[in-house]
Amino acid sequence: MKKSFLFLAVCAAALTACTSEEVIEEGVQSNAIGFQQIVNKPSRGLDAENPLTAFYVFGYYTTAEYPTEPVTIFSGDKVTKTGENDGKGVWGYDNARYWVPDATYKFFAYSCENNNGPLNEEAANGTAGMTHDANGYPTVKIAEYICNNDHQHDLVFAVKENVVGKEKDNAAVALTFSHLLTKLKVKFVSKFPNDYKLKISNVQISNIYTKATYSLAYSATAQSGNATWTTSGETEYALNVKDGSNMVASAEIPAVGETPKVDAVNAETAEAYVIPHKYTTTNVQVSFKVDFVNGDNVMMSRVFTGSWTPDWQAGYSYLYTINVTGSAASLEKIEFGDPTVGDWTEAPGNNTITFGAEAVNN
């Protein structure tokens, strides 16, 4: 049987999800191959306000007679959800494919949020494809994926293995998506006196990779697939982390008399996506600007830069906390030395105060 080699362009956008309890949405049971998406219930990313409405599927099957000759049935086909008015919805695609009894299937799906346009190489954000080796083992790649200022979107991926077709009552294929990128944000804590406010801006993370290839490869020694990210290109790049809802930090104001305590306020950036990678040198930099405000006046401004060696893993979310102190800001604290008390000095002249006819000399 003919082996296939398929390519798709990877899209752009954003989906958030996370952990814990799973809810399986209803799917259609029939001889036609159907899909259902598993949603992580606690996540606010996949809900009525921001649902996942499309993903793209690769799939193939093998038979006992031809275990090394896979038959491709999905080549990055778009799967969308319809029938939302009934409160349930059904995941569907064009040109129905049907189950082959006793055949063994593998399915792979990805979504770069909800891309409304067709996937093709002109998208210039990477290409996705599936190949098979001489023994029928597949490799799925998202090649030359770009994650930079112009392409800040979550990338999710799902695998469903060893599904055996039946003559009837085949369940819809349940796909559980996981995150392929790393997500991060930065929090700023003020260690200045409580009458100062710190306005944070221009947060950048520099010297990071913005292009990489994700590969999921199967072999005789990797029956469940070996997943890797391989970076490419240079690291001299600055990611502009977007502002969060609040970018002003202030210290706690203690209670005074009947006036209650005012809690500290932290500044926090929006979420940003980066390529997963374990850096080996301390040259990944974070820089930001701080305006030190007292009352309505900006007393001074500083731009700070720090370096570290991150180990960013796929599917992990990192919150970095930066404590802004006077020493960290290269500001010298105002201090007072020991006071000196001088000798009394006798007032000059002969000062006289006169009361009536008498005089008092001083």
Rounded to the nearest integer, the mean pLDDT of the chain is 79
Q: CATH code for 182-209+235-334?
A: 2.60.40
pLDDT of 197 above 90: yes
Look up the pTM and report it. Answer: 0.78
Q: CATH code for 6-180?
A: 2.60.40
Separation between Cα atoms, residue 113 and residue 157, nearest integer Å: 11
Separation between Cα atoms, residue 265 and residue 190, nearest integer Å: 8
Three-state DSSP class for residue 122: helix
Separation between Cα atoms, residue 330 and residue 302, nearest integer Å: 9
pLDDT tens for each residue of 243-283 = 999 999 998 888 778 878 888 899 999 999 999 999 999 99
Q: Give me the pLDDT at residue 74, please.
A: 96
Assign 347 a pLDDT band (cuts: 50, 70, 90): low
Q: Give me the pLDDT at residue 193, please.
A: 85
Separation between Cα atoms, residue 323 and residue 172, nearest integer Å: 50
Q: CB of 79 within 8 A of CB of 173?
A: no
Residue spans per domain, the chain:
6-180, 182-209+235-334
Separation between Cα atoms, residue 186 and residue 358, nearest integer Å: 81
Calculate mean pLDDT across residues 132-149.
Answer: 93
Q: Which two tokens stand for residue 113?
A: 């949020």
Q: Give me the pLDDT at residue 5, please.
A: 26
CA atoms lying within 13 Å on the CB side of residue 315:
11
pLDDT tens for each residue of 169-191 = 999 999 998 899 999 999 999 98
Least confident of 2-16, 24-38, 91-105, 303-317: 2-16
Q: Give me the pLDDT at residue 47, please.
A: 41
pLDDT of 324 above 50: yes
Residue 123, phi then psi, degrees to nearest 5: -65, -25
Three-state DSSP class for residue 178: strand
**Cα 238 to the center of its chain, rounded Å:** 16
pLDDT tens for each residue of 284-293 = 999 999 999 9
Separation between Cα atoms, residue 219 and residue 138, nearest integer Å: 8
Q: Give me the pLDDT at residue 122, please.
A: 60
Three-state DSSP class for residue 13: coil
